[in-house]
Structures are given as C-alpha cells and as structure tokens.
Amino acid sequence: MKRLLTIVSTFALAGTAMAQEMIVYPNDNQSPDQQEQDKFQCYSWAKGQTGFDPMAPPTATEAPPQQEAQQGGVGRGAVRGTVGGAVVGAIAGDTKKGAAIGAASGALMGGMRRSDQKRREQTAQQQWEQEQVAQYTQARNNYNRAYAACLEGRGYTVR
C-alpha cells in the first residue's frame, strides 16, 4: 500500500508541474464551437501520434523494484552470534563469555546488514520513481508539441 501511495504521489507531483494548460488564441476568428472542435480533433491526433493521453491517469511503464528477502536484523544476528560465540568459547574454554561476545557482535552485524539492505531498497525505489517521472515528462512534452503543431496548422497561436 505504501508503494502504491508513493507511485501515485510521484506522478501527481509530475503532473502538477506540467499541468499548466496551453493558451490557444484563434488567429482566424474561429467561433467558440469551431475552437472546441479543433481542440478535440488535435487532442485525438496528438494522442494517436504520441501514444500519450493526458486525460488518462498516469501509469508506470515498468513494475517497481522488488523488495529483497529480509536479511540480518538484531535478533537474528544475536542468535547466530550466540551460537557461534558459544562454539568459539567452548574451544577456548569459556562458553559463557564467548556466547555473550558472540551475541553482542552478532546483533551488531545483523543490524548493520538489515540497515544496508533497507538503504539499497530505498535507493532502488527512488531511482525507479525518478525514471518513471522522466518518462512521463518526456511523453507529455511530446504530446504537447504534437497538439500545438496541430492547432498551429489550423490557424491558432499556441503558447
């Protein structure tokens, strides 16, 4: 659910930045009805030329990155460290001290592994979001150029 909200908010921000409507001025005294007809025909033409529909909700062009299987963690690391420390302590002749040192170092290492994993996942998610926004922006710009070209060809000034 959190990922879906991130995706929607990413595209909402991108759409807001580009949602500024073009200003269309009729150079040849086209009637309001003719203007609406021309705008609709140019919308349809530009959509067909670019494959982009500004009226459709934005969609991702590829799936977001998958979450990795959870690695590490303080609890898992402590358990592994305790077992390893007890084995090493048994060899050295002090099982309790070895287990305690192993648990502490295992917890630390497990926490670090999990932290690194979360950081990698966040980086991958941010990179994916940036790529999706860039692709959306490019598609929208291509549509806007096609729409403007169509209207200019019908006797309008477009800004």
Per-residue pLDDT tens digits for 78-100: 666 555 555 555 555 555 666 66
pLDDT of residue 130: 94
pLDDT of residue 86: 54
- Greatest alpha-carbon span in the chain: 99
Region of poorest pLDDT, from 7-11, 47-51, 105-109:
7-11
The predicted-structure confidence for 21-41, as pLDDT tens digits, reads as follows 899 999 999 999 999 999 999
pLDDT of residue 109: 72
For residue 18, pLDDT over 60 is answered with no
Cα angle 21, 24, 30; round to 5: 145
Find out whether 138 and 113 touch, Cβ atoms under 8 Å: no
Contacts of 86 (CB under 8 A, 6+ apart): 95, 98, 99, 102
Grade residue 72 by pLDDT with cuts at 50, 70 and 90.
low
pTM of the model: 0.63
pLDDT of residue 63: 86
Q: Which of 53, 67, 54 is nearest to 6 (CA)?
A: 67
